[in-house]
Structures are given as C-alpha cells and as structure tokens.
C-alpha cells in the first residue's frame, strides 16, 4: 500500500529484521530503557519466521529505508475470543508527525478486521504524552484499571 510522501506499508520480511531491530532499540532509548533490549536478529528470525512463529509485523518503508514498525501477535480472551496484541508501534524520530504511525495503524486495523479479531490491545507508558494523544486521536480507550504483571527470563528460571 502506498500513501503520502512515498511511504509504503507492507508485511515485514526476514531481510527487514536488522532495520527493525534498530527501530526497536531506538524505541527503547526513547522509553529510557535501552539496557532492556537483548533480542537479536537471529532470535527474531527464529521467532518470526521459524516453525513456531510467534509474531507478525508491518513496516513503513520510504526510499528503501524502514522508517516505521507495527509488531503484533495473536492472543486469546476467554471473554471475547481471538485478539490481537500490538507489541510495538514505532516511527523513527525524523519521520514522526507525518502520518506514518497512522498509516501503520490503519493497515493493522484492516488485518484485525480480516481476521475477525474481537479486541486489539497495547500498552503505552503513562508519561508518553505524544503516544497517548495519538491513540486518543484514533478513538482508542486507555484503561487505567489494569495492573501489568510479568516475570523476567531470569525469574522464570528460578521459580520452583
């Protein structure tokens, strides 16, 4: 799909993964957590294209360069049914505020409709006001009632 300023939104490929990981690291830097990224291109290739594929992604491409990413996966709600979870929506800093995020999100919604997804969910940091305004601008509800829980890789190894 082509749109303004020669941006192409398309399904990501293996060859995109080095640039995609670069965007993920750029996002982590913005979110003040660069030390948290220990993923590799090799791991992403296995997880995104291997026999037990666990994610899909869209890229926004401009002049042969990946300038945006929407990485998502399928989940399930016992209350709703099939769901989609948006792990990352990121646009490189130089391309923000030109509609790239909106183009990616529009394509993501198209996929969700085609797959009869009952809910699309994501997280946003409470201090990330530009992202909050973006999501509100597309009509999303932000839910302050749920507390996120997680166990790290190291914690998973040590719990008996």
CATH of the domain at 49: 3.40.630.30
Indicate if the alpha-carbon torsion angle 53, 93, 108, 32 is positive or negative: positive
Is 80 exceeded by the pLDDT of residue 1? Answer: no
Is 60 exceeded by the pLDDT of residue 136? Answer: yes
Give me the domain span that covers residue 10: 2-158
Q: Which of the residues 30, 73, 76, 135 is marked catalytic?
A: 135
The pLDDT, as a whole number, for residue 2 is 46
Task: Specify the residue for token string 């003040």.
Answer: 32
The pLDDT-based confidence of 152 (bands split at 50, 70, 90) is confident
For residue 108, which of 76, 140, 77 has the smallest C-alpha distance? 140
The pLDDT, as a whole number, for residue 102 is 95
Tell me which H or E stretch contains 91: strand 81-91
The pLDDT-based confidence of 146 (bands split at 50, 70, 90) is confident
For residue 105, which of 83, 129, 131 has the smallest C-alpha distance? 131
87-115 mean pLDDT: 96
Neighbours of 43 (CB within 10 A): 13
Mean pLDDT of the chain: 94
76-90 mean pLDDT: 97
Q: Check if 153 is active-site.
A: no
- pTM: predicted TM-score of the whole model, two decimal places: 0.91
Is 60 exceeded by the pLDDT of residue 99? Answer: yes
Contact status, residue 28 vs residue 34, Cβ threshold 8 Å: yes
The pLDDT-based confidence of 5 (bands split at 50, 70, 90) is low
Q: How many domains does the chain have?
A: 1
């Amino acid at each position: 799909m082509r749109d303004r300023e020669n941006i192409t939104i398309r399904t990501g490929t293996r060859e995109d993964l080095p640039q995609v990981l670069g965007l993920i690291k750029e996002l982590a830097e913005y979110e003040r957590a660069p030390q948290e990224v220990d993923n590799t291109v090799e791991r992403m290739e296995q997880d995104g294209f291997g026999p037990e594929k666990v994610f899909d992604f869209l890229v926004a491409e401009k002049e042969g360069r990946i300038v945006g990413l929407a990485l998502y996966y399928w989940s399930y709600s016992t209350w709703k049914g099939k769901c989609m979870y948006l792990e990352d929506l990121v646009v490189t800093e130089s391309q923000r505020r030109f509609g790239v995020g909106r183009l990616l999100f529009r394509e993501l919604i198209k996929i969700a409709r085609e797959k009869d997804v009952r809910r699309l969910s994501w997280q946003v940091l409470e201090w990330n006001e530009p992202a909050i305004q973006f999501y509100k601008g597309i009509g999303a509800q932000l839910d302050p009632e749920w507390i996120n829980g997680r166990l790290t890789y190291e914690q998973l190894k040590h719990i008996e």
